[in-house]
Chain A
């Protein structure tokens, strides 16, 4: 039986399409989807994976088929057919990729918009009025030294970085961990200099349900919860509540990444970047620093603990008690006034380390450990 080549080609095309679609849906390459934004991004990836599989199989299929079908037969030294172009075919393979990438651009744009990347309220009046209000209430709160213009004359949107930094350091816990660096000013016409993933379209114009300040430093993340005084090395979040993460860095570049949330944002010293998202799945996921920050970059890891509302509230209550004590102690004594041993004494005592033991460790500095006992 002689099957016409057009039918073979068509069958191969159908098979290719089916395989591509199956791979696009069943590749199993991505971790769990733990935020409301993750399924959107995965949808985009699955689409790209489908197209990619098809393209890859097409190209490699042609190569392998050619290697067998068109290999030079022994003794045949003649040249091949002098085909050197085909305008309709060339238009086709220029046009189809152009349409595909245009489609992918539009799809990506839609997803980006849906996860809040293109928030038209970039200069949210809420954020600004709140900042202005607080600055008015507490004159001198703008402690960043490099403001060229006094706060009252700042026009709307000009110093978004400064506003957010001022707001963040209103919280004493944040102020205690965050270094006060000169803040970048925004570009005069084209919006913020600091990127953000803003609220999803349905949340636009509304303030975030709650705010966490994240500060990156070599080699840890410190999360502070404004108005509660909580300082934590792990990020506790209630599931189903939208959170705004204000991210900045004290020393070098870091990047906040939770693979299960599909979200990443660099922490840049001198800039305030934002991630606004909604955790959707209870669980513990890694928080990874994704920007090279020094030798211990690989060790700069912590967890995000997504909890139910009740668990989260219990944790907050527990932390408030703990941090009230901790903060009181931190304010009462300035650590830099004391020697390392003095400063560490309460902690070493808790761990069951006594002055005698310390003396053995530091035989050269005897007599300076009285505070440990």
Chain B
């Protein structure tokens, strides 16, 4: 028996009934089912991703030529401001944490739902009104001070749009905080008996690190935005220099959240990649603990690097040095992850399907963003490239080449579980190739543009940059078009896709141990862990993984929970639910 068969056999009792998709109307209701909420998040955020993409395409259309010829300068500033706000607060953050987090965390830990289902639904239902409000701001003059909204510019640039932006981001931040609390409690308290910290799937570790970060950092952004709204609306001068306020203070408060936000966007994706690679490489994840703990290290370090966004603003020299070193150190835990992923792939039996291709594409693109991240951490070099297209290239390699590639990998991996139907592979591969080509065409030349002297957030530029900008714009169009194969694929799969079965990829984690799509409350009975989450190729018996009820030196325990050698089943983790009672004594 392979490990997958072993795990499936042990969990036959936990397997939920095959109920199909159920009533579609539940996706438009205040449902408390974490799977419904997860899909609500994913669909809503994907729609916002398309809107953000349209804005980005408009920005690139304007930049196809050096002159201001497509939109007015004011509208151009609104386009990139709303583009960034949508992509960050309405796509990557809620899709990674709210969408995949909600769908996967309870399944992965064998729970029946999140700890606070109503809070969960509330966190989701905050998002659509906040997003729609932001879109409607185009009717009253959309915010145009950049997604950073630095005062004093944001205080003089159009009050209505700015006020809407503040309110919208405040709401989205609140949603993020509510979700973070929910994840922390769920992961802490609701793991299936027998799943200690070191038996958790790596996506759960990543969500733990992400939620801790979101919970610590987001309230600071809320504080900054409330003060900014006071300056804007009732004329206080917290940040307004004419009244003695200090714009630099806003930058500190803003980046105290907004740098960790980068990790809030990338950590869940790291977690998903750690799930996808072992399944399709048919090998255990390499260095489980190193990957798990490096998420925590990134989460902690992410809190003490914010001022690297301010190397050319109001940061005194000693502070620049401190933040340079902390920023560079983040490369170490990140490097551990990248090398561990490479070692996971190395020597495996790779199934190069769409999920795997996007995961491998993620690694190669993210590495470019990570390397340029170390470069811009170096203060003397950052002084040159700060606020240029080099930084634009860097952040898109991290957030598109990183987060978005990873989110697509996640879609290809888990849509069969969510809908019960497979996606089309050739279309998925076309999608991958177009995304890879379009993305690199759009963003690789920007490195050179920035180094040569093109600053960011400009509607017009020196004609000497025209050729490269045209290449970027063409790449952006290819990137925009690349979305169509994916959308067609998903629509086709919903109605015509072949049935996925419970475990199309032969995975070992618990989401594959129930039907596709899983029923309400996921499992018929508590699932058990007959194998570790990544025990591919380990044969019938796990000796390598620290599963508490399996102990090779003890004859009674050597063959796992269902062993006939065993005098009496462990009441907490017995394979058959009738033998099961009480809490596990093994639980850490």
CB-defined interface of B348-374 with A at 8 Å, one 1/0 digit per residue? 111110000000100110011001101
What B residues does A82 contact at CB under 8 A?
Answer: 283-284, 535-539, 544
- Is B314 interfacial (CB 8 A cutoff)? yes
- Is B77 interfacial (CB 8 A cutoff)? yes
What B residues does A79 contact at CB under 8 A?
Answer: 2-3, 282-283, 349, 536-538
Q: How many residues of B contact A (CB 8 A)?
A: 100
Whether B381 pairs with A41 at a CB distance below 8 angstroms is: yes
- Is B474 interfacial (CB 8 A cutoff)? no
- Is B290 interfacial (CB 8 A cutoff)? yes
Which residues of A92-140 have CB atoms within 8 Å of chain B's CB atoms? 93-94, 97-98, 100-102, 104-105, 107-109, 111-112, 115, 117-119, 122
Whether A252 pairs with B380 at a CB distance below 8 angstroms is: no
- Is A173 interfacial (CB 8 A cutoff)? no
Cβ contact of B374, chosen from A101, A115, A296, cutoff 8 A = A101
Whether B153 pairs with A253 at a CB distance below 8 angstroms is: yes
CA distance A108 to B74 in the complex (A): 38
Whether A59 pairs with B367 at a CB distance below 8 angstroms is: yes
What B residues does A109 contact at CB under 8 A?
Answer: 321, 324
- Is B318 interfacial (CB 8 A cutoff)? yes
CA distance A98 to B330 in the complex (A): 9
| With contact pairs A108-B381, A255-B387, A290-B388 given, residues A60 and B462 touching in the complex (Cβ less than 8 Å) | no
- Is A294 interfacial (CB 8 A cutoff)? yes
Q: How many CB-defined contacts (below 8 Å) exist between A and B? A: 307
What B residues does A295 contact at CB under 8 A?
Answer: 72-74, 76-77, 144, 459
- Is B325 interfacial (CB 8 A cutoff)? yes
- Is B483 interfacial (CB 8 A cutoff)? no
Whether A259 pairs with B384 at a CB distance below 8 angstroms is: yes
Whether B336 pairs with A45 at a CB distance below 8 angstroms is: no
Whether A264 pairs with B347 at a CB distance below 8 angstroms is: no
What A residues does B580 contact at CB under 8 A?
Answer: none
Which residues of A189-206 have CB atoms within 8 Å of chain B's CB atoms? 190-197
What A residues does B345 contact at CB under 8 A?
Answer: 62-63, 66, 70
* A43 CB, min distance to chain B CBs, angstroms: 10
Whether B350 pairs with A182 at a CB distance below 8 angstroms is: no
- Is A3 interfacial (CB 8 A cutoff)? no
What B residues does A337 contact at CB under 8 A?
Answer: none
Whether B378 pairs with A48 at a CB distance below 8 angstroms is: yes
Which residue of B is nearest A270, CB measured?
B241
Interface stretch, picked from B172-180, B206-214, B449-457, B487-495, is: B449-457
Which residue of B is nearest A95, CB measured?
B332
Whether A253 pairs with B453 at a CB distance below 8 angstroms is: no
CA distance A271 to B315 in the complex (A): 12
Interface stretch, picked from A83-91, A237-245, A308-316, is: A83-91
* A214 CB, min distance to chain B CBs, angstroms: 14
Which residue of A is nearest B81, CB measured?
A292
Whether B375 pairs with A84 at a CB distance below 8 angstroms is: no
Whether B316 pairs with A190 at a CB distance below 8 angstroms is: yes
Whether A78 pairs with B349 at a CB distance below 8 angstroms is: yes
What A residues does B338 contact at CB under 8 A?
Answer: 59
Whether B153 pairs with A63 at a CB distance below 8 angstroms is: no
- Is B157 interfacial (CB 8 A cutoff)? yes
- Is B145 interfacial (CB 8 A cutoff)? yes
- Is A297 interfacial (CB 8 A cutoff)? yes
CB-defined interface of A32-68 with B at 8 Å, one 1/0 digit per residue? 0000000011001100100010011001101100110
What B residues does A350 contact at CB under 8 A?
Answer: none
Whether A101 pairs with B367 at a CB distance below 8 angstroms is: no
CA distance A42 to B379 in the complex (A): 13
Whether A298 pairs with B73 at a CB distance below 8 angstroms is: yes
CA distance A347 to B150 in the complex (A): 38
CA distance A118 to B387 in the complex (A): 22
Whether A257 pairs with B455 at a CB distance below 8 angstroms is: yes
Which residues of A252-291 have CB atoms within 8 Å of chain B's CB atoms? 252-253, 255, 257, 259-260, 262-266, 268-271, 273, 286, 288-291
- Is B247 interfacial (CB 8 A cutoff)? yes
Cβ contact of A112, chosen from B343, B379, B538, cutoff 8 A = B379
CB-defined interface of A131-159 with B at 8 Å, one 1/0 digit per residue? 00000000000000010000000000000
- Is A251 interfacial (CB 8 A cutoff)? yes
Whether B375 pairs with A52 at a CB distance below 8 angstroms is: yes
CA distance A182 to B378 in the complex (A): 33
- Is A72 interfacial (CB 8 A cutoff)? yes
Whether B367 pairs with A56 at a CB distance below 8 angstroms is: yes
Whether A290 pairs with B381 at a CB distance below 8 angstroms is: no
Which residue of A is nearest B73, CB measured?
A295
CA distance A119 to B352 in the complex (A): 55
What A residues does B197 contact at CB under 8 A?
Answer: none
- Is B429 interfacial (CB 8 A cutoff)? no
Whether B453 pairs with A292 at a CB distance below 8 angstroms is: no
- Is A338 interfacial (CB 8 A cutoff)? no
Whether A288 pairs with B380 at a CB distance below 8 angstroms is: no
Whether A298 pairs with B461 at a CB distance below 8 angstroms is: yes
- Is A29 interfacial (CB 8 A cutoff)? yes
* A72 CB, min distance to chain B CBs, angstroms: 5
* A93 CB, min distance to chain B CBs, angstroms: 4
| With contact pairs A59-B364, A85-B286, A255-B312 given, residues A80 and B348 touching in the complex (Cβ less than 8 Å) | yes
* B487 CB, min distance to chain A CBs, angstroms: 27
Whether B380 pairs with A44 at a CB distance below 8 angstroms is: yes
Whether B281 pairs with A296 at a CB distance below 8 angstroms is: no
CA distance A56 to B371 in the complex (A): 8
Cβ contact of B312, chosen from A44, A67, A71, A266, cutoff 8 A = A266
What B residues does A66 contact at CB under 8 A?
Answer: 342, 345-346, 348, 350
CA distance A294 to B155 in the complex (A): 11
* A16 CB, min distance to chain B CBs, angstroms: 15
| With contact pairs A55-B367, A84-B544, A117-B379 given, residues A70 and B538 touching in the complex (Cβ less than 8 Å) | no
Whether A264 pairs with B386 at a CB distance below 8 angstroms is: yes
Whether B378 pairs with A108 at a CB distance below 8 angstroms is: yes
Which residue of A is nearest B352, CB measured?
A71
- Is A4 interfacial (CB 8 A cutoff)? no
Which residues of B314-340 have CB atoms within 8 Å of chain A's CB atoms? 314-318, 320-321, 324-325, 328-329, 331-332, 335-336, 338-340
What A residues does B538 contact at CB under 8 A?
Answer: 79, 82
CA distance A287 to B97 in the complex (A): 42
What B residues does A56 contact at CB under 8 A?
Answer: 367-368, 371
* B235 CB, min distance to chain A CBs, angstroms: 16
What B residues does A289 contact at CB under 8 A?
Answer: 455
CA distance A134 to B574 in the complex (A): 87
Whether B455 pairs with A290 at a CB distance below 8 angstroms is: yes
| With contact pairs A255-B387, A288-B455, A292-B457 given, residues A40 and B349 touching in the complex (Cβ less than 8 Å) | no
- Is A299 interfacial (CB 8 A cutoff)? yes
What B residues does A62 contact at CB under 8 A?
Answer: 342, 345-346
Whether A268 pairs with B73 at a CB distance below 8 angstroms is: no
- Is A181 interfacial (CB 8 A cutoff)? yes
Whether B384 pairs with A262 at a CB distance below 8 angstroms is: yes
* B546 CB, min distance to chain A CBs, angstroms: 11
Whether B348 pairs with A193 at a CB distance below 8 angstroms is: no
Whether B287 pairs with A85 at a CB distance below 8 angstroms is: yes
What B residues does A352 contact at CB under 8 A?
Answer: none
What B residues does A94 contact at CB under 8 A?
Answer: 290, 332, 335-336
Cβ contact of B242, chosen from A76, A197, A269, cutoff 8 A = A269
What A residues does B259 contact at CB under 8 A?
Answer: none
Instruction: Report 5 cross-chain contacts, Cβ distance below 8 Å, ordered by A residue.
Output: A55-B371, A62-B342, A79-B537, A80-B347, A191-B317
Give the 4 A-B residue pairs with the shortest CB-CB distance, closest first.
Answer: A298-B458, A79-B537, A259-B453, A84-B284
Interface residues of B (CB under 8 A from A): 2-3, 68, 72-74, 76-77, 144-146, 150, 152-153, 156-157, 241-244, 246-248, 281-288, 290, 312-318, 320-321, 324-325, 328-329, 331-332, 335-336, 338-340, 342-343, 345-352, 360, 363-364, 367-368, 371-372, 374-375, 378-381, 383-384, 386-388, 447-448, 451-453, 455-462, 534-539, 544
- A84-B287, A98-B332, A291-B313 known; 18 new pairs, CB 8 Å cut-off, are A31-B451, A41-B383, A52-B371, A52-B372, A80-B282, A83-B283, A84-B285, A97-B335, A98-B329, A182-B241, A196-B317, A255-B386, A255-B387, A263-B383, A268-B248, A286-B453, A292-B145, A298-B68
